[in-house]
Each structure stands twice: as C-alpha cells, then as structure tokens.
Structure 1
Amino acid sequence: MSGKLYLKNQIPAIFVNIMGMLALVLFLFANGNQFQTVLFIFIVWFIILTTYLSVVYYVRKRYLNQLLDMTEQLEERYLIPEIMTIPKKADEQVFYQIMKMAEKSMLEKIGAIQNERKEYKEYIEQWIHEVKTPITAIKLLCENNRSPFAREILAELEHINQYTEQTLYYARSEHTEKDYSVRETNLCDVVHSAVADNKYLLRQSNMTITIDDIENRVYTDDKWVRFILNQIIGNAIKYRIEQPVLHFSAIKTNDRVVLSVIDNGIGIPKSDLPRIFEKGFTGRNGRIGKNSTGMGLYLCKRLCDKLGIGLTAHSENKGTTIALSFQMNDFVIRVQG
C-alpha cells in the first residue's frame, strides 16, 4: 500500500481535524487562555492525530501485504476468500461478501467447464474406439486380398491409425496416471512392435531398418513408449531422403538406459531445434508441404515428462537423433547387475 495514496484517502479526516483544531484555538483565545497553553493543546492534538494515522497505516499495510503474499502463493487465486480472516469493518465485510460471491460463481463456471471437457473427452475416446473397428476390418480385407493396390491402402490405413492414436493419447495425456502401468519392459520388444506398427509405411518409403542387439530392460509403460516410438518413426518417414535409413540402438550408463532413434533424413534446422517440442510448432520443414500438425513431438515430450523419461533431439545439417533416456534407480541397478 502506497503511503502517498493512503494520505490522499485520509484527506477528509485530516481536514476535519484541522478545522477542529482551528475552532478549538479560536475558542481558547476567546476565553482568555495564554498562547503557550493554546500551542501546547494544538501540539498534543497534532501528535495524537499523526500517531493514529501512522499506526493505522502500518497495521493496514502489514495486513494487506500478507494478503498479497498469500494470494501470490495460491495456484487458484480466486480461492483467496477461503484463507482470509473475516474483516471486522462494515465496508470491508461488504467487499468480502462480494469476493465470496465471485468465488462461488467462478467455482460453478469451472465445474461446468470441467464437466463439458470430461464429456467431450469421453466422446472422443469412444469415437476413436468405434472408428478402429472399420479400420481393422479394412486392414483384414486388404491382407486377405494381396495386391499392390491393397498395399497402398494398408499404408494409408497406418497413417489413419497414427492420427487416431495421436488423438486418443492427446485426450488421455492430461491424466496419464489413470492409464499407464509401469512394469519391467524389454526395449527390444517395444522397438520391434513399433516397427511392425509401421511396416507398410516403411515398406512404401523403402526405409532400411537396422536394430542393434538391444538387451536392456527398463521399468516403464510399454504401450506409451510404443506410441512415442511410432511418432518418431512417422517423422522419419515424413522427412526422409532417397535411400532412407532408420537405426535403433541403446546404451547403458551408471543410472540410465538411453534408446536412440537415428535417421538420415533432411534433418532439423538449428534455429528450429529449441522449439520442436512446443505445441503446434511445425518448423521450416513442416511448412514445406509436409502436412505437419506440430502435435507429434509435443505429445512425445508431454508423455515423457509424465513417465519420467528424458527426451532430447540432435541434428546437424542432415539426419536426426532422438534419444529416450530411462532412469534406473538403485534397486533396479542391483537386480539387473
């Protein structure tokens, strides 16, 4: 609270006191009181007024600063009335009631929005599960009637499946703790499953796949890691060059297992690298006819943060390396050692 503003607000009270002082001085002089007596009474009145204004300013400033500090520490600042002490002054109680009414209105609005989001999320998840049925049916029909045309359809179906999976995982990414199951996972199995998910797209793009002997086991959710690898593989296919190559390898350090996915594609411009995990960021390559949504790597980063997996990207002129870093705690290291 500003002292200058406080004094400005107290001008009416100060003016009344000054008028009272002048009236008292005139009254005392009219009754024959000596100058020293009048001056003494005037000074005492002035000291009492100044002391009162100073004490009130100090007490109010301290209270309001505490209130501001409490408000800044709150994540939902509209809940400030819940931690405030009920004021004693009549005008302050009016403002307190107004804040309580505003808080109630805000909570009702938030509750309504949360219900709408929940219903929309449930609808999206239900729709995705339902649309997967015809996708699976078309896939079976194509696999039972092998032809170059059928293989083209199967590759496009993998595209469709990637987009539906992306939508589903985006809908669930806000509350991953309700959908993931952390257990011992063989990274080699997850890599092979992700490659199998994209086999027709990889074949269509003439991608050469090389996989090192990955014998590492980590504690994570294999389904979510498989989705992350699918997004990375999809990007490698989208931004490929002639004679594309995709390589998977893993190394183990003291407390981490790092799974690297390396391609020889067009790479990522240096200026774009710091922003590739931002929501909706497509970068220079994505704006050149690649139909990029800017959601794939954003979702990968979001899910990795939820699962405690480190995610980094490295690119120099050509080729890109995406690294997934799995934390190994002391217990896991001792068991696997």
Structure 2
Amino acid sequence: MKFWSYLKDRGVSMGLQLLACLLVLLFMYAFAVPMSLVAVSVGIIFSFTLLSWILDYLKRRTFYRELTGVMEQLGEKYLVSEMVEKPDFYEGEMLWDVLYTTNKSMLENITEREMKTREFTDYVEAWIHEVKIPLASLNLMCRDLDRKYIRQLDRIDRQLDQILYYIRSGNAEKDYLIRRVSLAETVKNVALKNKDDLLERGITLEVNLESDTVMTDGKWLEFMLNQIINNSVKYMKREIDGKSGEMMEHESGKLPVEPGKTPGEEPRIRVTSGRAENGVFLRVWDNGIGIPAEDLPMVCRKTFTGQNGRRGAKSTGMGLYIVKSLCNKLGHRLDISSRQGEFTSVTIIFGENDFYFGGMHSDGNISGNLSEM
C-alpha cells in the first residue's frame, strides 16, 4: 500500500481533522488566548494527529503487503486466510472474515464432492471385482467351445481392467508398491494373456531383455505393458513393406529406434530392454500400420482415437492415456515414436534416482507418497 494511495483513501477524514484543528485555533485566538499557549496547542494537536496517521498507515501497509505477497506466492489462493494473520483494524477484519468464510465454505464443498467421488470409485471397483468372478467362471466353461467366445470374454476382461486402472490412477497412493520387478516375468505374464490373439493373427513375439529388473509397481507395469501390446496387435497388418530406422533423441539419452519393415516380413512385435543414460528402458516395437505424424503428439490425450481409430479399429482412446497417467504417477517417462505404414515404438524409461534407491527397505520394497515422486 503506497502512502499516496493511503492519503487519497483517507483524504476526507484528514481534511475534517485539520479543519477541526483550525477552528479550535480560531476560537482560542478569538478569546485572546496567549500566543505561546496557542503555539503549544498547535504543536501538540498536529504532532498527535500526524502520529495517528503514520501508525494507521503502517498498520494497514503491513497487512496489505503480507496479503499481496502471500497471494503472489500461494498456489492455492483460497487458502490465503490461513496464511495471513487477522489484522486489528476494522476494514482488514472485515476482509479477513470474508476470505475465511469463503475458504471454509469452499473446503466443505470440496470435501463433500471428494467423499461422493470416493464412494463412487469404491463402488465401481467393487462392482468390477464382482463382475470378474462370473467372467472367470465363463472363461473356464467356454474352454471347450469355439475360441471366438474366449476372445470376447478376454476383451471384456481387458476393458474392465482398463476401467479399474483408470480409477486407480486418480488415487495412486491407495494401491502401489515400489519394488524390484523382473521384466522377464512381466513380459512372460503379458505374453500368456495375449497368446491367443498373437497366434490367431500370426504375429511373432520376440523378446530380448538386456536389463531384467527395474524399480516400479509390478501390477501397474504389467497392465501398462498389456495395453501397449494390445495396441500393437490391434493395429497390426499382414502385408508390409518399409525402411530402416534411426536414432531417437530422448531426455534420458539417445535410444536406438528399431528398424522399419522390409518387403514380405511377417508381422512381429519386439520387446527389448537396456540401459539408457539415466536409467533403464523397456520398449515395445511393432511393424504394424504406424501412426500418422499429425496424430503422434496427441496419442496420449484422453479419448483421442486419431485416424487409425476411426478407420475401423474399435478404439476408446483411453489405453495410452491411462499408460501415460500411470507412468507419471510412478515417476517413469513414456516416449512414442512411429512412422506411418512402417513401425511404432513405445518406450517406458525407468529413471534411477535417490528416492528409489535411498528409500528402499531391506526387503527391496519402497513405500511412500507418489505425489512426491
């Protein structure tokens, strides 16, 4: 608060005070009060009036400076009343009370909405688990029937998993355990889940893991890898031709891009892992239809299906969005490169940092708040 702004705001009251002082002096002069007494009276009145103005200004300036400073630095502006002390002048008290009441009302509304959202997500999670029980029974009952029934049940199961992990991605702290996870075991489990689709489409799955263990959540990694391989299977084509790849720049270092397709090459998915400059990478490469260049920056956006999704593949646009969200929660990075008609490469980079290796328990596990990662 600038002094001139204060004078402008208090100008009327100050003018009236000065006018009152002047009238007192005139009355004293009219009643023949000695000039020495008038001078002393003028000095006392003016000194105390000026002092009251200065003290009032300093008090207001302190409060408003603190208020504006907190507002500039605070991310959650609605918490300003919690960070600023209640002032001892009337206008400031009124402002503080308004801010406090507004903040209290909003927090109550947020808490109520969060409770309703939590109740809904808990219900959906419970419902999904209940649906999975008869689904698993149906899967067993249909083993001797046509494989197409099994595939439809598997599709339902994958969609249920997608919903489940989408919900959990918003409440990550409820369901995660960071530990050393075997990439070989994870790839094996995902390959078994997709065995029927791979065999039916004649897709060769190649696995070459130079680095076998990473620090992550095993369940989440398995889900993410399953989503990526599902996409590779979904957007695979049988007759292919193409070119070779190149080096891909990434913030974790240079990662070699898998080569493209050659005429007559059979459909294949290649899962590889290795060392990056700042950690370990796990890559899923396929020689499918690829992603158009204009769609590539948006493939991880929520509900984005792109040209490939609109050409007949039944896409919800949620798979890579959930994978990206889970990677962010776990402190990993996701990189996607592609060339339309040639290949698609999806890479998860597991960074190595002090949180993972400094906070690890003796059993190789880590617990903590994902929001700190």
State if a TM-score over 0.5 links the two structures. yes
Give 2:345's aligned residue: 321
Q: CA deviation at 1:207?
A: 2.6
Structure 1 pair 241–8 and aligned structure 2 pair: CA distance change class (3 A): farther
How far does the alpha carbon of each residue in 1:84-135 deviate from its partner, in whole angstroms, 9 at most, with x for none?
Answer: 2222123433333333333332232222112111111110100100111222
Confirm or deny that 1:310 pairs with 2:333.
yes
* TM-score, normalization by structure 2: 0.73
Give 1:335's aligned residue: none
Q: CA deviation at 1:229?
A: 0.7
Structure 1 pair 286–58 and aligned structure 2 pair: CA distance change class (3 A): farther
| Contact residue 281 and residue 348 of structure 2 kept, 8 A | yes
Q: CA deviation at 1:63?
A: 2.5
2:191 to 188, 195, 208: 195
Give 1:11's aligned residue: 11
One-letter code of the match for 2:188?
Answer: H
Partners of 1:49 and 1:290 in 2: CA distance: 82
Structure 1 pair 42–329 and aligned structure 2 pair: CA distance change class (3 A): closer
Give 1:116's aligned residue: 116
Structure 1 pair 21–270 and aligned structure 2 pair: CA distance change class (3 A): farther
One-letter code of the match for 2:94?
Answer: V
Structure 1 pair 238–177 and aligned structure 2 pair: CA distance change class (3 A): same
Give 2:255's aligned residue: none
Partners of 1:95 and 1:29 in 2: CA distance: 45
Partners of 1:75 and 1:277 in 2: CA distance: 27
Give 1:134's aligned residue: 134
SS class of match (2:236): coil
Q: CA deviation at 1:226?
A: 0.7
Confirm or deny that 1:180 pairs with 2:176.
yes
Confirm or deny that 1:238 pairs with 2:234.
yes
Percent identity of equivalent pairs: 35
Q: CA deviation at 1:231?
A: 1.1
Give 2:364's aligned residue: none
Give 2:306's aligned residue: 283
How far does the alpha carbon of each residue in 1:249-287 deviate from its partner, in whole angstroms, 9 at most, with x for none?
Answer: 111246522111001222223333333323333334334
| Contact residue 309 and residue 325 of structure 1 kept, 8 A | yes
Structure 1 pair 69–269 and aligned structure 2 pair: CA distance change class (3 A): farther
SS class of match (1:206): coil
One-letter code of the match for 1:181?
Answer: L
1:89-108 → structure 2 map (5 Å cutoff): 89-108=89-108
Q: CA deviation at 1:245?
A: 2.2
Structure 1 pair 83–188 and aligned structure 2 pair: CA distance change class (3 A): same
Q: How many residues align?
A: 327
Structure 1 pair 78–208 and aligned structure 2 pair: CA distance change class (3 A): same
Structure number with the bigger relative contact order (C-alpha 8 A, sep ≥ 6) is 2
Structure 1 pair 186–26 and aligned structure 2 pair: CA distance change class (3 A): same
Give 2:249's aligned residue: none
Structure 1 pair 252–9 and aligned structure 2 pair: CA distance change class (3 A): same
Partners of 1:88 and 1:213 in 2: CA distance: 68
* Structure that is richer in helix per residue: 1
SS class of match (2:288): coil
Structure 1 pair 261–55 and aligned structure 2 pair: CA distance change class (3 A): same
1:269 to 284, 292, 297: 292
* TM-score, normalization by structure 1: 0.80
Confirm or deny that 1:228 pairs with 2:224.
yes
SS class of match (1:10): helix
Partners of 1:181 and 1:323 in 2: CA distance: 22
Give 1:219's aligned residue: 215
Give 2:315's aligned residue: 292
Query: Unaligned 5+ residue runs, structure 2?
Result: 240-266, 358-373
1:144-155 → structure 2 map (5 Å cutoff): 144-145=144-145, 150-155=146-151
Partners of 1:127 and 1:231 in 2: CA distance: 22
Give the aligned CA root-mean-square deviation in angstroms: 3.5
Partners of 1:167 and 1:313 in 2: CA distance: 23
Partners of 1:246 and 1:287 in 2: CA distance: 23
Q: CA deviation at 1:21?
A: 6.4
Give 2:156's aligned residue: 160
Give 2:64's aligned residue: 64
Q: CA deviation at 1:32?
A: 9.0
